[in-house]
Amino acid sequence: MQARTRNFILIGGGVVIVGALVAFLATGMYPYTRFKSESIANANAETDLTNLLAESGADQAPPPAAVDNVNALGFLPSGPGAASLSVVTLAVPAMMAMAGAWFWERRGRRSEPRAASK
Amino acid sequence: MKFLVRAAAMTTIVSTLVLAQNASQPAKDASKQAVTIPEADAAKGKPYYTITNKDRQVYFESNAPLENIKGQSNQVVGYAVLSKETGGSIVAGEWRLPVKSMKTGIDLRDEHLASSDWLDASKHPDVVFKIVETKDVKETKKTEAFTTYSATLVGTLSLHGVSKSISIPGSTITVLKESAATAKVAKGEIISVRSKFSVTLKDYGISHPVIGEKVAKDVSLDVSLFLSSVPQ
């Protein structure tokens, strides 16, 4: 393997792993990759009835909690297509490619002295 | 080093863009069902119809050791009949929660939830709560605009084809008189029903190897329904 190819794989792999981790941290560290849902957004935006009750002063518990509606790169994938993007599905292939490049490099180094002695 | 930082930033931006472009499609509106109140129920008192497709009506949560699942719906359809004699007493009613309207924020999980392994929406499309009576009704607050009652709802919960009698103590029923304020939101007199309870999946014939690990044995529900004396 040429040094240039090996370096490209090692750097590229590192970049993918770091990028995936940054995206995971930046989007809320969800266990699974998730996307915004229009139906959840619409339901969460509607507060007229709850407000009416609150403004009337009636004894009432706070409104039911809302499901998080965000685009987030999760630690694990949550389905096919774009939902298959996750820290694991991005980082594991990158780590395997980096490990492969590293082994190729070691193998090349070992075979060099033998070739030179012949 | 600069190259590494730039490349990492690029990966982050690309991931974010892919995530942003793949927002899921809106669910089909499950609420377009006409509510018909059986004559026997309607005769018991004053009927109210659910105000659907507005504020969140049901929130459910499964707290398992390996995963915390939260979901919601605003597609509950049904009615409640309020006693004309005893204020705040629901004497009959039926609320239907379409299984396919339950959204957890992850499309594949929603599909699993509706599959035959779990709630089996093809055979049992709705979770149904049929109210038989209201016990222990107590007036807790009264003004010119509203009256609030605490009560125990008694009825039958049908889930996954299994029906069981349940009592939900600590429920709150608020009757809001028709006014200029209510007219801005919905026609007619409005009642609010608030209940919290939990459902043991095993009791309703739902068994799966992940129950107890990734899905809780008991799922908690928080129900907040608004109903109007005039169909919306």
- Does the beta-carbon distance from B107 to A60 stay under 8 Å? no
Tell which wins on pLDDT, B203 or B3: B203
**Predicted pLDDT of residue B31:** 46
CA atoms in the 13 A half-sphere facing the CB of A10: 12
- Please tell me which of the candidates A50, A56, A79 has its beta carbon nearest to residue B146: A56
Nearest CA in chain A to B149: A59
* Percentage of residues of chain A with pLDDT beyond 70: 92
| H/E segment holding residue B131 | strand B126-142
Strand ranges, E, within chain B: 45-50, 58-63, 68-73, 77-83, 90-98, 126-142, 146-159, 162-176, 190-200, 218-228
**Predicted pLDDT of residue A57:** 80
What is the pLDDT averaged over residues B55-81?
96
Over residues A47-82, the pLDDT tens digits come to: 899 888 888 887 667 888 999 999 999 999 999 999
Which B-chain residues 41-100 have CB contacts (< 8 A) with chain A? 51, 54-59, 61, 67, 70-74
Identify all chain A residues contacting B21, using CB atoms and an 8 Å cutoff.
Answer: 82
Over residues B155-169, the pLDDT tens digits come to: 999 999 999 999 999
* pTM recorded for the entire structure: 0.83
**Could you give the ipTM of this predicted complex?**
0.81
Identify all chain B residues contacting A47, using CB atoms and an 8 Å cutoff.
Answer: 55
**Predicted pLDDT of residue B103:** 96
Asked if B193 has any chain A CB less than 8 Å from its own CB, the reply is no
